[in-house]
Amino acid sequence: MKLSTKGRYGLRAMIDIGMFSTEEKVSIKSIAERQHISENYLEQLIALLKKAKLVTSSRGARGGYSLSRASDKISLGEILRALEGDLNPVDCVTNNKDNVCEDSDSCATKFVWKKISDSINEVVNNITLKDLVDEQFEIDHLTQEAHIG
């Protein structure tokens, strides 16, 4: 019941892009340095974000990534689902033919998994990337002040 590094690193990458892509494209190298994540691995995570059309890229020198939409139009749910797949604790909640136990319609636990799933999605669908970018700017600002003071 844990998120993998895909979700954790990938979200940090998205916040990073949200913070720094206003002026120019953000390169994988610069994200990797700021976030202390392996460049090659980050590349794969950002590929997932690109596939989900959450970021756009430009190749070649001075290329890099930027958000495909304004940060307040990107939900945390979209980001996490792009990185981790659906956020259901158990597959029988979605009606994919495979991975479903044979008795799923006659099993009381199904209702439980649905409730958990709903509550997770309720949370993540109502937080935007902008919320997180703003929060991170705020934290960095306070940390900066603490260093000065």
**Residues forming the site for DNA (CB under 7 A):** 4-6, 9, 26-29, 38, 40-41, 43-44, 46-47, 50, 57-65
Tell me which H or E stretch contains 56.
strand 55-58
Residue indicated by tokens 């950002």: 46
Q: Give which of 119, 139, 145, 136 is closest to 19, Cα–Cα.
A: 136
Residue 82 binds a copy of itself (CB under 8 A)? no
From residue 102 to residue 121, what is the string marking binding to a copy of itself with x (rule CB under 8 A)? Answer: x---xxxx-xxx-xx--xx-
Closer CB to a copy of itself, 12 or 65, in the complex? 12
Cα–Cα distance, 132 to 13 (Å, whole number): 12
Instruction: Identify residues 10-69 at the interface with a copy of itself (CB under 8 A).
Output: 11-12, 15, 36
> Smallest gap, in angstroms, from Cβ of residue 63 to a copy of itself?
26
How far the first Cα of the chain sits from its last, in Å, is 41
**Contact stretch for a copy of itself (CB under 8 A) within 21-29, 41-49, 57-65, 85-93:** 85-93
Answer yes or no: are the C-beta atoms of 26 and 143 closer than 8 Å.
no
